[in-house]
């Protein structure tokens, strides 16, 4: 800043002082820098040092040794002033009262207020700063949201998505994908816990029971009572381990999958070769919960659909899961993230759009990875199921997947280890290989493509 008033220039070396009291070139340069910085709450302190220095010089004659000591002291003080300037944001382009704002934050944090009527930690509206532009909202404090927003999910709130009147294709599940509102329509508040919230039950007990008050959605227990998903028992919700396809327990179903693949001791981790599993349409994630005892980490995926937020149950149980859907955007994982994918009656149309959803699973699977598919199409004999099975079998064959095992109501495919099969396909075979410039690891907001991701030469 160009400072023209006399009050803004006390930091320059004083030409009226004796030469023995003049600052060194280094200190003079730092003092000039402080002048360029502009006014700061610590100007009185600098005035005090300047006056003290002038007094010492006028009273005591300085020899070479004492002059060196004075210069060292002065340099230390000036550098300390620079540090204070920077620490309290007294730099060009910043507000001169930033130190006062900082002090106000400290006062509020220890319970003081600027006036007697302010209640610490509570306010009706968030304080918003728009210093850096109209769309860079920087909240300085957050109120607590209204109780009706206790289950608000930013960017996945369907009511807010409907209000924005986005043109979404419901058949492609776009309304279950992330759609963040404009900044002015966002809730800048803290989501409150449900009334009566209790500290969650610790693992491993939480796999089998949670507090009902933490997830007040008991209607799902009644709806799925015949499938052994969950049971309300007093003040708790109990999870017997069942599912739509495995009424007798996820543990027995997991052992069945391992037995189909001839894994040792019917343990699905195959002596450490299967470590990560992706469970599509997970329900309340009992499949993923029971895999943890086999040293397998499963990521469970489900949308916030007609069953409401099933993922709440998974997370309350301590099972890794997130809200999402196989729709139009790539899932937020780089290529070759999982050794095993699973779909048990997930009600996904794998044939739509040239098999684009199955090709997204192919992108996520590692070389030699498995896809376990438990669904009526794998075993039913009615005309529609037979048609779907025939078309799906032809699709995975063109993708170079092979059947590793098929028994009862489940089929398990395996992905090829190399590019050899891809190279041997007839020209024009669909789905095609992805373009050479396609980055299979770019995922955030990237649309899916109906193509096969080949392995790089290093792989």
- At 352-375, the pLDDT tens digits run 999 999 999 999 999 999 999 998
Please, which pLDDT band fits residue 166 given cuts at 50, 70 and 90? confident
State the pLDDT at residue 56.
58
Positive or negative, the Cα torsion across 314, 316, 320, 324?
Answer: positive
Spatial separation of the C-alpha atoms in residues 71 and 360, rounded to whole Å: 69
Peptide bond into 356 cis (omega under 30): no
pLDDT of residue 66: 64
Contact between 287 and 298 under an 8 Å Cβ cutoff? The reply is yes
Structure tokens at 37: 């910085």
Length of the chain: 459
User: Is residue 237 in some structural domain?
Assistant: yes
Residue 92 placed within a domain:
no
Q: What is the largest CA-CA distance in the chain?
A: 110
- Residue 28's closest CA among 38, 40, 13? 13
Q: Give the separation between CA 433 and CA 454, rounded to whole angstroms.
A: 7
CATH assignment of the domain containing 326: 3.40.50.150
pLDDT confidence of residue 77: 66
> Would residue 177 count as lying in a domain?
yes
Parallel/antiparallel/unpaired status of strands 402-407 and 338-344: unpaired
Q: In total, how many domains does the chain have?
A: 3
Indicate whether 280 and 135 sit together in one domain: no
What is the model's pLDDT at position 423? 94
Residue 360 shares a structural domain with residue 299: yes
Cα dist. 442→197, 334, 356, 447, 449 in Å? Answer: 39, 7, 17, 10, 12
Predicted local distance difference test score (pLDDT) of residue 135: 52
* 229 in the same domain as 161: no
pLDDT higher than 70, residue 116: no
Whether 445 is in a domain gets the answer: no
351 half-sphere exposure, CB direction, 13 A CA radius? 11
> In terms of domains, do 253 and 290 share one?
yes
Interatomic CA distance for residues 171 and 445, integer angstroms: 19
Nearby residues of 205 by Cβ (< 8 Å), 6 or more positions away: none
Inform me whether the pLDDT recorded for 31 exceeds 60.
Answer: no
CA distance 214 to 235: 10
Confidence at residue 147, expressed as pLDDT on a 0 to 100 scale: 84
Say if CB 145 and CB 189 are below 8 A apart: yes
CB 287 within 8 A of CB 268: no
Residues 229 and 319 both lie in one domain: yes
* Main-chain dihedrals φ then ψ at residue 82, nearest 5 degrees: -60, -45
Question: pLDDT digits over 229-281, tens only?
Answer: 788 899 999 998 877 677 778 999 999 999 999 999 999 999 999 999 999 98
Assigned domain for 408 exists: yes
Domain boundary among 158, 192, 226: 192
d(CA 413, CA 406): 9
Residues 279 and 228 in one domain: yes
Residue at which a domain ends, from 192, 224, 245: 192
Give the pair of three-digit tokens for residue 234: 């007093």
Whole-number pLDDT of residue 304:
80
More confident residue, 4 or 432: 432
pLDDT at 456: 83
Shared-domain flag, residues 269 and 168: no
Shortest CA distance to 415 belongs to which of 407, 404, 426, 424? 404
> Are 22 and 171 in the same domain?
no
* Predicted confidence (pLDDT) per residue in 381-428, tens digit: 889 989 999 999 999 999 999 999 999 889 999 999 999 999 999 999
Query: Residue 91 pLDDT > 50, yes or no?
Result: no
Of 6-10, 112-116, 335-339, give the range with the top mean pLDDT: 335-339
Specify whether 180 is located in the same domain as 281.
Answer: no
Strand partners for 127: 141
Please tell me whether residues 377 and 320 are part of one structural domain. yes
Q: Assess if residue 433 is contained within a domain.
A: no
Q: Evaluate whether 114 touches 104 at the Cβ level (below 8 Å).
A: yes
Same domain, 286 and 384: yes
Cβ-contact 237, 313 below 8 angstroms = yes
The single residue listed with the structure tokens 């193509």 is 451
Domain range holding 150?
A: 131-192
- Note whether residue 329 is domain-resident: yes
Between the alpha carbon of residue 306 and those of residues 30, 166, 177, 181, 315, the distances in Å are 67, 20, 15, 22, 19
Residues 163, 209 within the same domain: no
Round the average pLDDT of the chain to a whole number and report it.
78
State the virtual CA torsion across 361, 362, 367, 369 in degrees, nearest 10: 40
On whether residue 197 sits in a domain, the answer given is no
Residue 205 has pLDDT above 90, yes or no: yes
- 41-67 average pLDDT score: 58
Domain end (from 87, 122, 140): 87
Instruction: Decide if 85 contacts 40 (C-beta within 8 A).
Output: yes
> CA 426, CA 431: separation in Å to the nearest integer?
11
């Amino acid at each position: 800043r160009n400072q023209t008033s006399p009050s803004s220039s006390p930091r320059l070396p004083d030409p009226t002082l004796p030469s023995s009291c003049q600052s060194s070139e280094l200190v003079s340069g730092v003092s000039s820098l402080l002048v360029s910085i502009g006014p700061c709450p610590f100007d009185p302190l600098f005035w005090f040092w300047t006056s003290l220095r002038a007094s010492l010089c006028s009273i005591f004659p300085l020899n070479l040794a004492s002059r060196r000591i004075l210069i060292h002291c002065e340099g230390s003080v000036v550098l300390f002033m620079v540090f204070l300037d920077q620490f309290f944001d007294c730099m060009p382009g910043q507000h001169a009262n930033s130190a006062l704002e900082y002090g106000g934050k400290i006062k509020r944090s220890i319970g003081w207020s600027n006036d007697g009527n302010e209640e610490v930690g509570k306010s009706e509206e968030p304080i918003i700063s728009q210093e850096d532009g109209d769309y860079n909202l920087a909240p300085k404090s957050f109120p607590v949201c209204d109780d009706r927003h206790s289950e608000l999910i930013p960017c996945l709130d369907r009511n807010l998505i409907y209000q924005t009147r986005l043109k979404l294709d419901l058949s492609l599940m776009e309304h279950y994908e992330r759609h963040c509102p404009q900044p002015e329509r966002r809730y800048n508040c803290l989501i409150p816990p449900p009334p009566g919230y209790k500290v969650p039950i610790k693992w491993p007990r939480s796999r089998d029971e949670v507090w009902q008050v933490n997830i007040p959605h008991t209607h799902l227990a009644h709806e799925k009572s015949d499938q052994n998903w969950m049971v309300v028992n007093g003040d708790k919700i109990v999870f017997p381990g069942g599912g739509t396809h495995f009424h007798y327990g996820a543990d027995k179903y997991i052992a069945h999958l391992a037995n189909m693949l001839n894994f040792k001791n019917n343990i699905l981790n195959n002596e450490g070769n299967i470590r990560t599993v992706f469970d599509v349409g997970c329900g309340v994630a009992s499949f993923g919960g029971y895999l943890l005892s086999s040293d397998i980490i499963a990521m469970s995926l489900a949308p916030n659909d007609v069953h409401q937020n099933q993922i709440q149950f998974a997370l309350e149980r301590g099972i890794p899961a997130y809200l999402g859907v196989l729709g139009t955007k790539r899932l937020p994982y780089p290529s070759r993230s999982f050794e095993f994918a699973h779909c048990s009656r997930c009600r996904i149309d794998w044939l739509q759009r040239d098999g684009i959803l199955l090709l997204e699973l192919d992108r996520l699977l590692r070389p030699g990875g498995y896809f376990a598919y438990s669904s009526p199409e794998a075993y039913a004999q009615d005309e529609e199921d037979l048609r779907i099975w025939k078309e799906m079998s032809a699709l995975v064959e063109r993708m170079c997947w092979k059947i590793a095992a098929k028994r009862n109501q489940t089929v398990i495919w395996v992905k090829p280890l190399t590019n050899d099969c891809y190279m041997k396909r007839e020209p024009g075979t669909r789905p095609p290989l992805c373009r050479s410039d396609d980055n299979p690891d770019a995922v955030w907001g990237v649309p899916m493509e109906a193509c096969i991701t080949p392995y790089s030469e290093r792989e």
